[in-house]
Amino acid sequence: MEIWQSIYTELSKATDSQLNSAILGKIEFRELVNDDTLVLCAPDEFTKGWFVENFLMTAQGIAKALFEKPYQFRIEVVNEKSFNEIKERGGKSRKSESVYPMNLNPKYTFEHFVVGNSNDFAHAAALNVAKFPGGSYNPLFIYGNVALGKTHLLHAIAHKIIGDNPEAKVLYITSEAFTNEFVEAVRDDKQSSKSRFREKYRSIDVLLMDDIQFLQNKASTLSELFHTFNELFHDRKQMVFACDQPPKSLQAIEERLRTRFDSGLTVEIKVPDYETRKAILLEKAKEENIDIPDSVMDYIANHIDTDIRTLEGSLTKVIAYSSLKKKQISLDLTKDILRDKIKAEAPKNLTITEIQKVVSKFFSVSINDLKSPKRMESITYPRQIAMYLATEYTSLSLTEIGQFFGGKAHTTVMRSSQKINGLLKSRKKVKREIEDIISQFYNSAQK
């Protein structure tokens, strides 16, 4: 049941229409056979056929990605009575799970977390909390920019505590989901709904709440969280919060709650350095069971330095392209695939003579034409490209650049550069041409 629930959650995120969502909602889990086949049931042939046509391949891919093993799916059409019985059993199972909804990513464990200088303190603190919940580091507050591993650590804590103590009441939830549940409880206008909400959150052993920053300016929800915090803290229950900024920066959250966030241990996750980025890529390649050339790993690790999600996504894109196109992964292929993510770079110390030579060859015009006063579009456009590159990749002044183009005025060079800059933002063709020209500089530098 848990396997299907995880797959179902990811499938739901991927649905692109109300019809698909409605069809998916009619599919029920029946049983797991031989540990590798999920038997699902549908109320009619139409639902079965729609699932097979629109969801089956995606479900198989999700299953392999989540659990690192292939799963088969068998869809059976059952009569109304049997379907309702299965649905009722499934509903009861989901209901018992929904008291502490997890939807944990099975890959987000401590074993799969790559430790480096940017996150070693946060990792150590999270591991300590997982081993000794309710101990010294309560609450644990983890902050850092998006996609750096905060959610991974929260899931890892949950996996570890549940693994060590299956009876522990552990709840991972986003602040948005917490807010929505609270609003629904209030909107219901029944004391029993509010009581159930409070019982749920104040009787757990471990609360892991993600994206705390989205609670800002939500006064009623913050007040409820404040009292929940006090109850859990009084009972020595572990709390872990993740945020994109430290507690002191959450100015739209009242001070009494900010000071509580900061009363335990606050740790930061930073952008990973080159060594950590490469280690993350190696771990990703290991998960995918594929050999990646070291030059490709170096290239991606050197150029994708913003966050882990983009880093892993870049490697995934290369692997997917290689698999679908049946092409061997190479550095050249990687550069071509990732040209939308990685800004093209020209070798340092370029000269205008080199720029003019490459541009004239690329556009099939002569260098003399680039220097001439001719105003035909076939010549003025390459000349503007050359002037733009000269302003971007040489240290010469506008006046000096103009001298290399037949004594053009510095204002001409400036306008040419500005025009190409504008075209780069609006025309993909121009961006592609610039990247192709720059790749020529790179190739020339390698020879």
CATH number, residue 410: 1.10.1750.10
Give the distance, in angstroms, between the CA of residue 419 and the centroid of all CA atoms in the same chain: 35
- Where on the phi/psi map is residue 268: left (φ > 0), alpha (ψ -120 to 50), or beta? beta
Residue type, 394: T
pLDDT at position 443 over 60: no
pLDDT at position 392 over 50: yes
Give the distance, in angstroms, between the CA of residue 295 and the centroid of all CA atoms in the same chain: 24
Give the distance, in angstroms, between the CA of residue 334 and the centroid of all CA atoms in the same chain: 20
Residue 214: give its domain's CATH number.
3.40.50.300
Residue type, 160: K
Strand ordering across the sheet containing 37-42: 28-33, 37-42, 72-77
Asked whether the beta carbons of 147 and 270 are under 8 A apart, the reply is no
Residue 405 in domain? yes
- The CA distances from residue 392 to 28, 371, 388, 422, in Å, are 59, 19, 6, 14
* Residue that the structure tokens 């009623």 belong to: 220
Query: Distance between CA 195 and CA 107 in Å, rounded?
Result: 35
Please check whether residues 28 and 72 belong to one and the same domain: yes
Please check whether residues 287 and 264 belong to one and the same domain: no
Longest alpha-carbon distance in the chain: 88
Please check whether residues 278 and 250 belong to one and the same domain: no
Q: How many CB atoms are located within 10 Å of the residue 397 CB? A: 12
Query: Distance between CA 27 and CA 23 in Å, rounded?
Result: 7
- The CA distances from residue 421 to 58, 363, 384, 418, 431, in Å, are 41, 19, 10, 5, 9
Sign of the alpha-carbon torsion through 90, 92, 94, 97? negative
Q: What pLDDT does residue 152 have?
A: 95
Q: What pLDDT does residue 446 have?
A: 44
Please check whether residues 263 and 145 belong to one and the same domain: yes
pLDDT at position 74 over 70: yes
First and final CA of the chain: distance in angstroms?
A: 59
Q: How many domains does the chain have?
A: 4
Residue 106 in domain? no
Q: How many CB atoms are located within 10 Å of the residue 285 CB? A: 17
CA atoms within 13 A on the CB side of 121: 14
Q: What is the pLDDT of residues 403-437, one digit of tens each?
A: 999 999 999 999 999 999 889 888 888 888 887 88
Which residues, in sequence order, are CB contacts of 263 under 8 Å at separation 6+?
139
Domain endpoint, select from 268, 292, 310: 268
Across 214-218, average pLDDT: 95
Extended beta strands in 99-184, E state? 140-143, 170-174
Q: Which of 351, 290, 336, 338 is nearest to 311 (CA)?
A: 338
Q: What is the pLDDT of residues 358-383, one digit of tens each?
A: 999 999 999 999 999 999 999 999 99
Residue 67 pLDDT grade (very low, low, confident, very high; cuts 50, 70, 90): confident
Please check whether residues 250 and 331 belong to one and the same domain: no
Residue 322: give its domain's CATH number.
1.10.8.60
Residue 344 in domain? no
Residue 180 pLDDT grade (very low, low, confident, very high; cuts 50, 70, 90): very high
Domain endpoint, select from 248, 268, 288: 268
Residue 115 is classified by DSSP as: P
